Amino acid sequence: MKKTLSIVFLLALISAFSMYGQGKVLSFDSPKLTVYLPSDPDPAGKAIIACPGGGYTHLAAAHEGHNWAHFYNNLGLAYAVLEYTMPNCDREMLLNEVESAFKILVDNAAEWKINPEKIGIMGSSAGGHLAATVATHPRGVMKPAFQVLFYPVVSLDPEITHLGTRAGFVGKDADAALTAEWSSENKVTSETSPAFIALSSDDRAVNPLNSLRYVAALCKAGVPAALFSYPTGGHGWGYRTSFKYHDQVLAELTAWIKNLSL
């Protein structure tokens, strides 16, 4: 009887694993990166690296990182979660970690069925600031093909920024030039990657004007941008079914990714 139950339990686990489209999970230490590979890879070879939020003081690595794995794998995308080091104003160290994450995916692209030219970046809150920074300051292999941002900090302008994010990235007393350099709405060009942005209009932690300014800059530069503003939900919902508009977010993001022209 126990043997029968064990077999049934094992089959259930295998079934659940397959249902979510996950094939293999790999871990790296430097940088700290977890890669979730799909069982049925996207024919176009799209992949995405996620940067969880946390105000550059900690990481919400579960609901803004790992919990998204099954969603992306089910769409056929290789999905990687970067648990980056808190910058304490060491921006170069932080960007080097992101660049290293891209390099891991590029170096293993053939084996993992990834197109090196179709690796995107995702970020939430302060992680959204990091993702937008990478999208507007590309270098080497760190050149995201697309960006997915949830309730992001985009600007370091003291009038609308999240002060903790600003302090962690440039310091609370940063001058105007440094602030402008790392405010992504100022760095958008026609070469900036297409963006999907979702937030709640009642967000009291990160001013929605961050996203509005960014979308305005993207539109001005002729870069495709999708913006979804939900009436309630506040800040930090990530991949949580308790978020009232969770299913809508997944539906909109699924459609956007499937129709993404790269």
Domains of the chain: 22-258 (3.40.50.1820)
The pLDDT, as a whole number, for residue 21 is 75
The pLDDT, as a whole number, for residue 262 is 87
C-alpha of 210 from chain center: 16
Collapsing DSSP states into helix, strand and coil, what is residue 150? strand
Between the alpha carbon of residue 117 and those of residues 39, 105, 114, the distances in Å are: 21, 11, 9
Collapsing DSSP states into helix, strand and coil, what is residue 144? coil
Instruction: Name the stretches of the chain with pLDDT < 50.
Output: 1-19
* Dihedral sign computed on CA atoms, order 170, 237, 255, 216: negative
The pLDDT, as a whole number, for residue 11 is 40
CB-count exposure of residue 121 (10 Å: 0-12, 13-18, 19+): buried
The pLDDT, as a whole number, for residue 64 is 98
The pLDDT, as a whole number, for residue 16 is 45
Q: What is the pTM of this model?
A: 0.92
The pLDDT, as a whole number, for residue 23 is 80
* Residue whose structure tokens are 């060491």: 90
pLDDT in tens, 193-225: 999 999 999 999 999 999 999 999 999 999 999
Length of the chain: 262
